[in-house]
Amino acid sequence: MYRNLSVHGGCDSLIKMQTSDKKRMLITGISGLLGNNLACYFREHYDVLGLYNTHPVTIRNIATQQADILSLDSLENVIQNFQPDIIIHCASLTDIDYCEVNKSKTHFINVIGTKNIIDIVQGTKTKIIYISSDSVYEGTCGNYSEDDQVNPQNHYGLTKYEGELEALKKADSLILRTNIFGWNIQDKFSIAEWILHELTQKNEIKGFQDAYFSSIYTFDLAEVLHRAINRNLSGVYNCGSSDSTSKYEFALMIADLFQLDKNHVCPISIDEFPFRAKRGKNLSLNISKISKDIDFTLPLIGDTVKAFYSDCQNGIRNKLGSRKILHGSENRSLSYGKQFIDENDVQAVIDILNSPFLTQGPVVVEFENALCVKTDASYAVACNSGTSGLHIACMAAGVGPGDEVVTSPVTFVASANCAVYCGAKPVFADIDSQTYNMSPVELEKKITGKTRAVIPVHFAGQSCDMESIKNIVTQAEKKYGRKIFIIEDACHALGSEYKGTKVGSCRYADMAVTSFHPVKHITTGEGGAVFTADKMLDGKLRKLRSHGITSNPSEFLNYDIAFQSVGETNHSSVNPWYYEQVTLGYNYRITDIQCALGLSQLKKLEAFKKRRRELVNFYNKSFSGLENIKTPYEAGDCLSNFHLYVLLFEFEEIGMSRAALMKRLKEKNIQTQVHYIPVHLQSFYRKNFGTTWGHFPKAESYYTKCLSIPLHPSLSDDDAGRVVDEIIKLTGKNL
C-alpha cells in the first residue's frame, strides 16, 4: 500500500518546498528505483532534495538537481547549499554482470562516490544512511546475521562492502544491507516488474528454484527506515522481509496475485544460467536485530508482495514521477526532439511571477552572465529567438543593400533570411559531404568584393571547420580591402567544442548566435542569444534588440532635452525620465520569466549533454555496419553536443521511400523529421534569387537521404532501443 504518496492538500498543483519546520533530507540516485520511492515516502516528513546524474526526473513536491558524486566540488557545493540533516546514499551501479565487466567504473561510483560524500560531511551533524546489499555475503548457508563473515562473490558485492567501510568512517552512520523490488520511475524493471511484464506478454521465464533471498518492497523498507531514523540507529543492519523464498516461488506469487499464467514460469537451477558474475545461492537475511531495535515486526515476503500488488491497483505508477509508463511504454509517442522541464524549472518561473519584474529586470542580466560562464564568451545578449539574434547580428555587422552574405543551404531558413531582412543577397556555399557543414573549399569560391558576412552553420551540433573558415575570410579581407564579419549560427551547438574551445567563445568569429527553442539543448520557451568578444558589437546588439534606444548619456545627441542644469554650479544632469533612440532597432527583448527558466535549464546542461552523448553512442553502435544506413560523422577536432541525430538512408536499395518509412514509424509512435529542405529549393529563394535544383549537388544529395530520429534527454534506454529495433525491422530486409 503506497504510504505517504498523497499530494499536499489533495491537489495536483506544485507545492513550493517548505523549509521552516521540516528537517532536510538529501537522497542520491533519485532517478533510481529506491531513491525515487524513498523520496515519495519521505516528502511528507522532510524537505527532500534528490540528486541525479544523467537521468533527470520530475517528482511532485520533490526538488531535484543534477550532481555527479565523482565531482567533489560540484557535490560539495550542493551539500553546503542544502545543508541536509540526513543523507540517504542510494546512488550506485547495481547491474551485477555489468559491474563485473566494468570494474574500474564500478569502483569509482560505488566506493569513491561514497568516500566523497563522507569527506564532505565529516565533522558535521549530518546523518549518513548508506544503502548496501545482501551481495556482501557469501550466499552459501543463508539466514545471514550482521555478525557473519562478509565474503562477496562478485565485484558488485565487493564494492558495496568497500562503500560500507567508507560510510562507517562517519560517526553515527547507518548501513542497511538489503534486497529490494518495487515500481520504477524509469523504463527499467525491478525483478517483480520484470516478472510481471514478461508474464503479461505471455513470455516464458526461468525461475531459479535454488536461489533464495529476503527481498522487501521499497515502501516497506521506507517504513522500516523511517522508524530507524526516529530511533537514531547507527551501525550495520540487515533489512529485508522476515522470511525468505526462492526466486521461482517469488515469480509464482506475482503470477497468482496478478492472475497470470503460472505455467509460463519454468523452474531451473541458477547454475544453468550463463551469468558473467558469480552469485550466491542463498542470500536470505536474519533481520531480528533491526526488528528488535525499532520494535517492529517486518513483513513476510508474501505480505510485501501483496503490498506491491495493492499499490499497483491503487495507481502508484502515476504517482511516482514523469519518466515511466510501465505496461504501455511501447506505445508512448517519441518525438524527434523535446524539452525536459522539472519542478525546479517550474518553481523558477513561479518565483518570477511573484516578483516585481516580469521583463527587463535583473534576471535577464543574470542569465546573460551565466551564458558567458558556460561558453567562455565575453558578452552575451539575450533576445526573444535565435532568428532575431541572427538579424541583429547582421545589423550590428552593417549588412545592408548591395551586400552579400554567404551561408549553408542545409539549415533552417533563418540562417539566410537574416541577410534578406537587411536588404542583402544570400549566397550559398555547398556542404562537406561528411560533416554536412559548409565546405571551406566551397566558401572560398563564393566570397567576392560584395561579401559583408559569412554565416557558417554548426549543423546538428558539430562545429564547422572554423579555423579554415577564419583563414579564408582573413585572406579575402586583405584581397578586397574590407571587413568581412563571421557570424556563427550556433543554434544547434550550445555545449559543443571545437579544438578545445567552446562554441560561443568567438575565438574564430565576430559573433555567434544560439537558440533556446524547446527542441534545443536548453529552452526558455522561445529565445536566443548573441555572443561576442567585442565590446562595441555588444553595445550595438543591445540597442538593436530594444528599439535602437539607449540610456547611456555618453551616446545622447539631443543635448537640449537630455540634460538640465542643477543647482548654483550650473552642472548638467540627465533628466530622470530621459532615453534616446539613436538608431532603428526592434523589440527583440526577452523576459525575466523566460530567463528564469533558462537559468534553471542551464544548470542541467551538462547532464543533458551527457545523456545525449550516451544516446548518440548507442545509436552509432546499433546502426554501424548496416549497408544502407549511414551514421553521422564527427570530426576529430570536435566534441559535439548533438542537437539532432541524422541518418542517411539509401531508400532505393531499401525498397521503401522516405515518406513511407516516416509513415510506418509514425504508426509505431516514433516521430521523425527531415532537417532540412535545402534553403535554395524554397520557393521564395527560387523566385527572388534564381536558385534551383543542381546548384548545390552535395546539399541536394544529402537532402534526398536524410532523416532525423528521436534524440533528447528524456529518451530512455528502452525508448532508444525501440527506435533502433523498429528502423532495422522496417528497413532490414535488404541490409
Residue-wise pLDDT tens digits, 589-636 = 999 999 999 999 999 999 999 999 999 999 999 998 888 999 999 999
The fraction of the chain above a pLDDT of 90, given in percent, is 80
Confidence of residue 342 (pLDDT cuts 50, 70, 90): confident
The answer, as to whether pTM is greater than 0.85, is no
Residue matched to cell numbers 579555423:
467
CA angle at 75 for the pair 74 and 77, rounded to the nearest 5°? 65
- Please state, in angstroms and rounded to a whole number, the distance separating the CA atoms of residues 238 and 176: 6
pLDDT at 565: 64
Of 46, 60, 49, 82, nearest in space to 9 by CA: 60
pLDDT at 249: 97
Residue matched to cell numbers 547507527:
234
Tell me if 123 sits within 8 A of 112, measured CB to CB. Answer: no
In sequence order, what are the beta bridge partners of 236?
A: 175
Q: Which whole number is the average pLDDT over 325-352?
A: 77
Sign of CA dihedral 543, 544, 545, 547: positive
Is 568 a residue whose pLDDT tops 60?
no
- Please state, in angstroms and rounded to a whole number, the distance separating the CA atoms of residues 274 and 75: 38
Instruction: Give the largest CA-CA distance in the chain.
Output: 102
Q: Which whole number is the average pLDDT over 446-463?
A: 98
pLDDT at 328: 38
Q: Which whole number is the average pLDDT over 145-150?
A: 96
Is 326 a residue whose pLDDT tops 60?
no
pLDDT at 566: 60
List Cα–Cα distances, 177 to 80, 326, 532, in angstroms: 28, 28, 55
Confidence of residue 324 (pLDDT cuts 50, 70, 90): very low
Most confident of 233-237, 550-554, 610-614: 233-237
pLDDT at 1: 34
- In order of their start, the domains of the chain are 8-324 (3.40.50.720), 354-547+579-599 (3.40.640.10), 549-578 (no CATH), 605-734 (3.90.1150.10)
Q: Cα-Cα-Cα-Cα dihedral of 296, 302, 303, 304, to 10°?
A: 80
Kindly report the average pLDDT of the chain as a whole number: 91
The fraction of the chain above a pLDDT of 70, given in percent, is 93
pLDDT at 581: 95
Element counts in the chain: helices (H) and strands (E): 26, 30
Is 322 a residue whose pLDDT tops 90?
no
Least confident span in 384-393, 612-621, 726-735: 726-735
pLDDT at 647: 98
Confidence of residue 13 (pLDDT cuts 50, 70, 90): very low
